[in-house]
Structure 1
Amino acid sequence: MKKITQMLLVCLLLIGLPITANAYMLDQAITKNIGKSHTSVSLRSLTTGNVLYEHNGQALMKPASTLKLLTGSAALHVLGRDYTFSTELFIDGVIADATLYGDVYIKGGGDPTLQQQDFLTFAKILKRHGIRKIQGNLYGDDSAFSGNALTPGIAKEDETEYYAARISALTMSPNTDYDAGTVIVQITGDKTTQPPSFRVLPNASGMKFVNQARTVAKTGKNTLTVKRQYSSNTVIIAGNIPQGSTVKEWVTLQDPTINTLHAIKNTWQSTGLNISQVTVGRKVIPATASKLYTKESLPLHKLYPVFMKLSNNSIADILVKTLGLEMYGEGNTENGVAALRDYAYSLGLNTKQWRLEDGSGMSHANRVSANELTALLAKIQQQSIYTNFYQGLPIGGQEERFVGGTLRKRFDTNALRGRVVAKTGSITNVYTLSGYVTAKSGRQYAFAIMTDKKNAQALKQIDQLVEVIIQHY
């Protein structure tokens, strides 16, 4: 033990950190719980801004969703807390005898909160202008965003999953989680040995659903899967579902713009609009078109907690493209990433330690150091956006979904509840956590714990390290 302690003292002297019993306890906890290899830890004072403890603090690691700390703060700073996304309804043609002889256009502005209730509002607006039939086409203008609809680094097998949705300037969400670019498939087990029933929210949206699933006895095992076939609009429902049970699964849209237009058309038909001959397509709004209505999203400060607490990748990707549009005039991922770097530089961060490919953290090519994450957290505390930024983070042990978010089932004992306000992160073999922690001393710190080449056990091990910080700092 004496030899180990001496070695630790030498290491601390070499990296210029204060030699404390607290640092020794944290160092020992890393060794015992998670292992020092492929692990990076940084603990920073919010009073002085100095690093109090680090283990591989300068190592460039995969941030996973802790990268949203940069994306979210950049969006609040650049776009502003009251920023809204617009979706506009246009017509181009002549109205006669309750018929529009011409086309309807929906111009998207990246709104992740566009939903079926808005499609119903569009129908009401058309009827208010005397339109009961459309003798033309329904077009979507998604020109606000450009480039690949998928952010870099998305694996082929993940493209059907809600966390890997394609992003378009004209998209929709099936509920108030605002997982833009998805629909919900709700499956119910009915008669044993028969296919289960299912419904799609908001509707089929131009997609084809193939039901290969089977209802089994109530005591049977749920093996249900709902997968969109790669690069197609075909969704396969397969496996077994117990009788009497209901399962909800999210599945991504192949082409958010076109699928959203189909969802709008289906909704309009349900209101009695005569649009049986209408086809859908993608087209920029002509100068001759007339605007009838503008739908505004929630302001960013109200959307922000949904984004951060639920770690919403769709919103992250939309924010990145919107930053690119607002700062460089073209809404693509490359410009958005450049905007993130510019923001990091404006804060005085070391941009050489931020290697970015997206803003959601999904890409395994992203890199940042734990010290840079805690530096970001410390600097944000001095910014006007801090209140909105802090309130948007998940709070450990708080059961309410839109309070605790991804931390609602962690740090849930009486001694720990509410002490950790932080962003989680996980991609394959990568587990991270970064944010603010209030120790038993009453002092608050910025921390970052980053791991790679680990299994899911790392989640518990990360939490144990945070508990050491709470106990000893």
Structure 2
Amino acid sequence: MSSLSTMKFYFGSLSMPIISTLKFCVIMMTLSTFQAFSANSHLDSGDTKIASTTTANVTQSQQVMAPTEINKLNKKIAKAVQSLVSPYSQLAIAIWDPQQQRSLFELNTQKLMQPASVMKLFTAVTAIAELGHDYRYRSQVFIKGPIINKALEGDVWINLSGDPKLTTQDLSRLIAQFKYAGIEKINGQVQLLTTANEQVRAPGWVWDDLGICYAAPVSRLILDGNCILAKLIPSQNGIKGETRLSISTSSPIKVFNQARFIPTSSNKQSRDLCQLSLARFDNNQYKLSGCYPSDGGINLAIAVNDVEPYMLAKLEALFKQHQIVLKHAINLLTDDDSALSAQFNEASSSKDEPSLVSDDEELRLIASHSSESLMAMLDTMLKDSNNLIADRVFKTIGRSFYQTTHPQVSDNFTHASKAQLARLNEMGIKLDSANLVDGSGLSRYNAISAAQLMSLIKLIYSDERFTSLDSALPEAGVSGTLAYKRGFQTKLRAKVKAKTGTMLGVANFAGRMQTSQGDLYFVILENGINPHQQAQHQVSSELLTAIMAIYETNEELQAD
């Protein structure tokens, strides 16, 4: 049994992390030297390149706006950018006017940047195109054999499809159907279908993140987000500093707790040096150590490490809870056998309704649970920046795309990436220079440009298949990750709908801004931010506020 990782924690709300350690294995894509304000260099490509006499160069279309007007607008926007940008970070900006179909400002739009969670926009568009708005995940229970004296003289197959919102309560209702079917004992085998050698984490995920729930394993087997909530509280033995871990008794994990609290009144150096860490071991065993400044308790969110033993333990507990006796332990069964999969498909009715009246020798469906629709999931994914939903949907895209031509393709991130690139290319989103590794943006191997992301934004608002995504985006000061974000509570409130993308050293935004002169689409990608200053970082909100003011008061724009 070997230790796998050291972990940071979420304390309190899962959407408001407090990082106890900054040990990130950051693997950065090579970025060219930031020369945003070189008066003699051109920025990116476009219909027309203007060598501005100001501190920035901007690409504009001569067909829509005369060069003299471009320069006037450039000077104002470039001045705003210059006053806000850090000399240490890399910045890429694209501003588009959809009414006039013209680019208002472009900076470093061809440079590859780490997208973080704005990657979820690519996932959302591809998912709708490939799976459809009403796609649902189905969890099913099949049986075969006669029922004699309340005992099933045959086998059971539990087929979970990777519903990212499946809860213990949902699974409990599935198991309860055995009693409704008149089954109180199972003499045959109970088998949980699984995928052989499933890739549950994407390449490039930061090692230190893997014990945290926002980096929970993405599997066919998902329950309660593959996340375990716990609370570290002072020990009841009265010994100063000692702690105990409060965790649900139904959670089949084991945590060895050696953590301690120090008073919040301790000096700053003591508080700064006090850190918690979690070592992960095989079979969902963990060791919590270190210290944390607290006079009360802290909430923890621990990612399941090994999904298969976790799900087996949960199922066994639910069978026991519903007083259904199992003659044998629950087994894992890989469904790579296409003939077996075909039997399950045939046994599922077209309406996905269980049927208890059937030949005892036939495979029959006795319980089924359907997830909410894909659009409902995408709403949660975008508003809350839910990584598990994003990566589960991403992998589903891959399996769906290849199921006809290459049914042997496994459910993994590599195949999903190829499928997504192919799908986006069909829709005119050219990503030859990009690198798409996962659906959530967690991977440090992801790399996209502002120009590529702007192409996607234009597609979302021009193709009726995707316009519904606008309502799923976080709204400044109102919903999702923008509800309480600094800088979005006053002038931008209810006027910006955008996907955020934040990780250590990264702060990205992409979406739509309402102005009195009409909407603007924007992409702001900033990488290489000083992590010690990131909490106070407000470049995007200040830049959008400045651009709104410039756009609304520009005489040339009003004259068009």
TM-score, reference length from structure 1: 0.86
Equivalent residue of 2:173, what SS?
A: helix
Is the counterpart of residue 200 in structure 1 residue 251 in structure 2?
Answer: no
Unaligned runs of 5+ in 2: 1-37, 41-49, 62-66, 344-361, 404-408, 552-560
Q: 1:414 is matched with which residue?
A: 490
In 1, are the aligned partners of 2:230 and 2:245 still within 8 Å (CA)? no
Q: How many Å apart are 1:94 and its aligned residue?
A: 4.4
Measure the CA separation in 1 of the matches of 2:57 and 2:524.
Answer: 22
CA–CA separation in structure 2 for the residues paired with 1:97 and 1:217: 62
1:32 aligns with 2:83: yes
Q: Which residue of 1 aligns with 2:546?
A: 468
- Write the distance in 1 (CA, Å) between the matches of 2:380 and 2:123: 14
Q: Distance in 2 between matches of 1:461 and 1:16?
A: 23
> What are the ranges of 5 or more consecutive residues in structure 1 without an aligned counterpart?
174-179
Question: Does residue 318 of the first structure (1) align with residue 395 of the second (2)?
Answer: no
Distance in structure 2 (CA, Å) of the matches to 1:218 and 1:350: 53
Of structures 1 and 2, the larger Rg is shown by 2
Match of 1:271 in 2: 322
3-state DSSP class of the match of 1:8? coil
- Following the alignment from structure 1 to structure 2, what is the Cα–Cα distance between the partners of residues 271 and 244? 41
What is the deviation of 1:311? 1.0
- Written as runs of structure 1 = structure 2, the 5 A alignment for 1:70-469 is 70-143=122-195, 147-173=198-224, 180-189=225-234, 191=236, 192-193=238-239, 195-200=243-248, 203-205=250-252, 207-214=253-260, 225=276, 227=278, 229-238=280-289, 245-275=296-326, 278-284=329-335, 286=340, 287=343, 289-329=363-403, 330=409, 331-398=411-478, 403-439=479-515, 441-456=516-531, 457=533, 459-469=537-547
Shift of residue 314 of structure 1?
1.0
The C-alpha deviation readout for 1:76-128, integer Å capped at 9, x for no partner, is 22211111011111234443332334443211212111111112212220111
- Cα deviation 1:367-411 (Å, max 9, x = unaligned): 11112211211121111233421111111111xxxx233553234
**Change in 2 beyond 3 A, CA 1:208/1:406:** farther
* Change beyond 3 A, Cα 1:263–1:130: same
Residue by residue over 1:250-277, the C-alpha shift from the partner in whole angstroms, topping out at 9 and shown as x without a partner, is: 2112232331232122133223223485
**Which amino acid letter does the alignment assign opposite residue 210 of structure 1?**
F
Percentage identity across aligned positions? 25
**TM-score scaled by structure 2?**
0.74
2:88 pairs with 1:8: no
**Partners of 1:282 and 1:226 in 2: CA distance:** 35
Q: Which amino acid aligns with 1:154?
A: W
Amino acid at match of 1:204: S
CA distance in 1, matches of 2:149, 2:265: 60
CA distance in 2, matches of 1:69, 1:464: 23
CA RMSD, aligned part only?
Answer: 3.1
Structure 2 CA distance for aligned equivalents of residues 28 and 12 of structure 1: 8
Instruction: Provide closer, same or farther for how the CA distance between residues 30 and 169 of structure 1 changes in structure 2, counting only shifts above 3 A.
Output: same
CA distance in 1, matches of 2:290, 2:306: 26
Tell me the SS of whatever aligns to 1:381: helix
* Distance (Å, rounded) in 1 between the aligned partners of 2:153 and 2:201: 36
Greater mean alpha carbon deviation, residues 405-414 or residues 352-361: 405-414
**Residue 538 of structure 2 aligns to which amino acid in structure 1?**
K
| Cα displacement string for residues 151-172 of structure 1 (whole angstroms, at most 9, x for unaligned residues) | 1111222211112221111211
Give the Cα separation in 1 of the matches to 2:55 and 2:370: 56
**How many matched pairs?**
457
Q: How many angstroms does 1:343 deviate by? A: 2.7
